[in-house]
């Protein structure tokens, strides 16, 4: 049995998660992104999946998120992976079918784990194959002078009517960790064979425009589908395409788990 990382002594931002919705024997693990948000980004989707078809939905808070940027700065990739491994193990002991999915960096982690585990299906939302942000390209130069960079939290709060929960600044080394994860993901895409649903916003300003196509073309899943979200940027909370995402997920999970 995999042990859970203990973060009980840390103060968690109200509304940041984690969230667990106990239901039937179809389990869905949802992994949030790494850009400063928290489980709050995926909570509406998780709640709807649970309420509509009584799925058991687990949405863990990755170590370092929902606490402080200073805590996040010292978190390792392995700590994120250990948390996900714990949740997979927990779901496997409770459910007969397991579907794993994630948003942004959570999608990258989903693909990495799909190369190692025999999931019944996976889904990604806005998973990058490459990052547009200039800060990523100049990490070696920037890290000499700064340790944190600001994020557009005012914009995120406005777009979500105050529902967004996250940081106002991010440690620069997160960009380095994302680059490491992207490199690992690209190496293992050929090993992925389970059913896969990929979604990406047509207006996504954070990731390379061909990200979904690159991932789709490299995975070896016989049952795979890609969906363009015509009105969506990168964010998932209060997405203008929320209903499309939800309906596609319901269709996908119902098909592979029945």
Any idea what the CATH number is for the domain that residue 189 is in? Answer: 3.40.50.1820
Q: What is the pLDDT of residue 132?
A: 78
Q: What crossing angle do the helices spanning 242-257 and 43-53 adopt, rounded to 10°?
A: 50
The predicted-structure confidence for 56-84, as pLDDT tens digits, reads as follows: 999 999 999 999 999 999 999 999 999 99
**pTM (two decimals):** 0.93
Please state, for a pLDDT cut of 70, what percent of the chain lies above it: 91
With cut-offs at 50, 70 and 90, classify the pLDDT of residue 48. Answer: very high
More confident residue, 10 or 113: 113
Can you give the residue range of the structural domain that contains 99? Answer: 19-257
Q: Over the chain, what is the mean pLDDT? A: 91
The predicted-structure confidence for 119-157, as pLDDT tens digits, reads as follows: 999 999 999 999 876 455 445 545 555 788 888 888 888
With cut-offs at 50, 70 and 90, classify the pLDDT of residue 95. Answer: very high
The predicted-structure confidence for 172-190, as pLDDT tens digits, reads as follows: 899 889 999 999 999 999 9
Q: What is the pLDDT of residue 151?
A: 86
Examine residue 6 and state whether it is found in any structural domain, yes or no: no
With cut-offs at 50, 70 and 90, classify the pLDDT of residue 207. Answer: very high
Q: Looking up tokens 């960096």, which residue turns up?
A: 105
Examine residue 11 and state whether it is found in any structural domain, yes or no: no
Examine residue 33 and state whether it is found in any structural domain, yes or no: yes
Examine residue 5 and state whether it is found in any structural domain, yes or no: no
Q: How many domains does the chain have?
A: 1
Examine residue 12 and state whether it is found in any structural domain, yes or no: no
Q: What is the pLDDT of residue 144?
A: 52
| CA pair distance 20, 43, nearest whole angstrom | 10
Please state, for a pLDDT cut of 90, what percent of the chain lies above it: 78
Examine residue 234 and state whether it is found in any structural domain, yes or no: yes
| pLDDT tops 90 at residue 159 | no
Mapped onto helix, strand or coil, the DSSP state of residue 226 is: strand
Per-residue DSSP letters for 37-86? --GGGTHHHHHHHHHHH--EEEEPPPTTTTS-HHHHHT--HHHHHHHHHH
With cut-offs at 50, 70 and 90, classify the pLDDT of residue 1. Answer: low
Examine residue 46 and state whether it is found in any structural domain, yes or no: yes
How large is the average pLDDT for residues 100-104?
98
* 194 C-beta neighbours (distance < 10 Å), count: 22
Phi then psi for residue 152, to 5 deg, are -85, 65
| Closest of 138, 119, 145, 136 to residue 253, by C-alpha | 119
Examine residue 13 and state whether it is found in any structural domain, yes or no: no
Q: What is the pLDDT of residue 141?
A: 47
Mapped onto helix, strand or coil, the DSSP state of residue 154 is: helix
């Amino acid at each position: 049995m995999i042990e859970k990382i203990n973060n009980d002594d840390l103060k968690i931002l109200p509304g940041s998660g984690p969230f667990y919705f106990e239901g039937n024997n179809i389990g869905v693990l949802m992994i949030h992104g790494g850009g400063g948000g928290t489980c709050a980004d995926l909570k509406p989707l998780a709640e709807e999946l649970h309420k509509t078809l009584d799925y058991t939905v687990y949405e863990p808070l990755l170590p370092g998120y929902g606490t402080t940027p200073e805590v996040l700065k010292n978190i390792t990739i392995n700590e994120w992976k250990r948390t996900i491994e714990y949740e997979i193990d927990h779901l496997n002991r409770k459910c007969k079918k397991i579907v794993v999915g994630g948003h942004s960096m959570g999608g990258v982690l989903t693909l990495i784990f799909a190369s190692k585990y025999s999931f019944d299906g996976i889904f990604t939302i806005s998973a990058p194959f490459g990052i547009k942000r200039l800060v990523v390209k100049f990490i070696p130069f920037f890290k000499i002078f700064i340790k944190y960079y600001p994020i557009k939290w005012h914009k995120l709060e406005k777009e979500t009517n105050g529902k967004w929960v996250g940081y106002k600044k991010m440690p620069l080394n997160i960009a380095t960790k994302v680059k490491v994860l992207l490199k690992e993901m690209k190496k293992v895409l050929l090993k992925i064979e389970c059913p896969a649903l990929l979604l990406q916003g047509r207006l996504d300003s954070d990731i390379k425009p061909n990200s979904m196509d690159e991932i789709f073309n490299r995975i070896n899943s016989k049952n795979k589908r890609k969906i363009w979200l015509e009105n969506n940027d990168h964010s998932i909370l209060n997405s203008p395409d929320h209903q499309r995402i939800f309906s596609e997920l319901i269709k996908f999970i119902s098909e592979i788990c029945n």
